[in-house]
Amino acid sequence: MVTKRRHKADAPDGASLTIGQLARRAGVSTSMLRYYEREGLLPPAARSAAGYRLYPRAALRALTFIHRAQRLGFSLGDIKLLRAGGEDKRGRGHTVVGIAEQRFIEIERRLTELLVLRHELELFLDDLTAQVGRAAGGSTARVYRRLIDHVCGHEPERAAPGAVHRLTRRIGCALASADQERIFKALRGRHVHVWKDADGYTILVRDRSAAVQAALEQLVAADAGCGVHVDVTLAPAPDGLQLRVRGDHAFLYAQLFLTLEATP
């Protein structure tokens, strides 16, 4: 019979762990464990008869949770509150769910910047290919396009419409209202340019038809009473209609229009 080998300094199953044993199993230093204990992230250690720190087996699960939360970008203060599982005693009004949701929104905001950059770079490459074709002939343009496709890879997937809808509902945005579907229908498949400004996003819809203008005007009007956005304005542009969105959650509009463009 094959038996599991145990480190000579390790503890038997069910027993408490010394600080060295816990540090080795968790892959951290003993000084880090002492720091976590001082910060209230780990339960206070008991002492053996010889004065050594002893930790319960639950401390290993606690360390796994701490490291996972740190990888997701949570601060130690947030992790402490998450571990406590309740309201912040200092009165900041944060809850466990609120902290996690805020972190999720921060990630979505950063992701949107990359989605917008990818979208505009793809359009730039298309324009560049067309210029090569005009300058050097169609066969050269096709070779260049194949080279670009090979280097850049296939068309990546964009956020699904359902994901955008859930995100807008999560933060209480007026875009999540069910009657907005009628507006979105007129905007699907429309060619857009999107870029980030210092305080929000600008969306250029390359279509000045009456149907698209009416849909954008209704979108602006519907969002007027929304507390999520600071300002949403619509103005004509030489090559379409330009929507300017300002505020912390302006990224929602950028995601929405990228998704609408990719949706037939």
The CATH number assigned to the domain holding 48 equals 1.10.1660.10
- Read off the pLDDT of residues 32-56 as tens digits, 9 standing for 90 and up: 999 998 888 888 778 888 888 889 9
Q: What one-letter code names the amino acid at 148?
A: I
Return all residues near 22 (Cβ < 8 A) that are at least 6 apart: 33, 55, 59, 60, 63
Residue 114 and residue 229 in one domain: yes
Residue 199 and residue 239 in one domain: yes
Q: Give the separation between CA 170 and CA 211, rounded to whole angstroms.
A: 29
Domain count, the chain: 2
* Residue 173 CB-density burial (10 A; 0-12 exposed, 13-18 middle, 19+ buried): buried
Query: Is the model's pLDDT at 159 over the cut of 80?
Result: no
Q: With pLDDT > 90 as the criterion, what percentage of the chain qualifies?
A: 29
Average pLDDT over residues 83-92: 57
Backbone angles phi, psi at 207, to 5 degrees: -160, 125
Question: Can you give the residue range of the structural domain that contains 146?
Answer: 101-262
pLDDT at position 240: 95
| pTM over the 0.75 mark | no
- Domain assignment present for 74: yes
Domain end, chosen from 62, 88, 114, is at: 88
Q: Give the separation between CA 51 and CA 46, rounded to whole angstroms.
A: 9
- Read off the pLDDT of residues 128-143 as tens digits, 9 standing for 90 and up: 777 766 655 666 666 6
pLDDT at position 16: 85
Return all residues near 32 (Cβ < 8 A) that are at least 6 apart: 23
Which 3 state secondary structure label does DSSP give 40? Answer: coil
pLDDT at position 216: 93
Could you count the other beta carbons within 10 Å of the beta carbon of residue 232? 22
Structure tokens at 209: 């038809």
Mean pLDDT score across all residues of the chain: 79
Q: With pLDDT > 70 as the criterion, what percentage of the chain qualifies?
A: 71
Q: Can you give the C-alpha Rg of the chain in angstroms?
A: 27
Q: Give the separation between CA 145 and CA 126, rounded to whole angstroms.
A: 8
Residue 79 and residue 165 in one domain: no
Backbone angles phi, psi at 49, to 5 degrees: -60, -30
**Range with lowest mean pLDDT among 58-62, 75-79, 153-157, 159-163:** 153-157
Domain end, chosen from 57, 88, 119, is at: 88
Residue 211 and residue 128 in one domain: yes
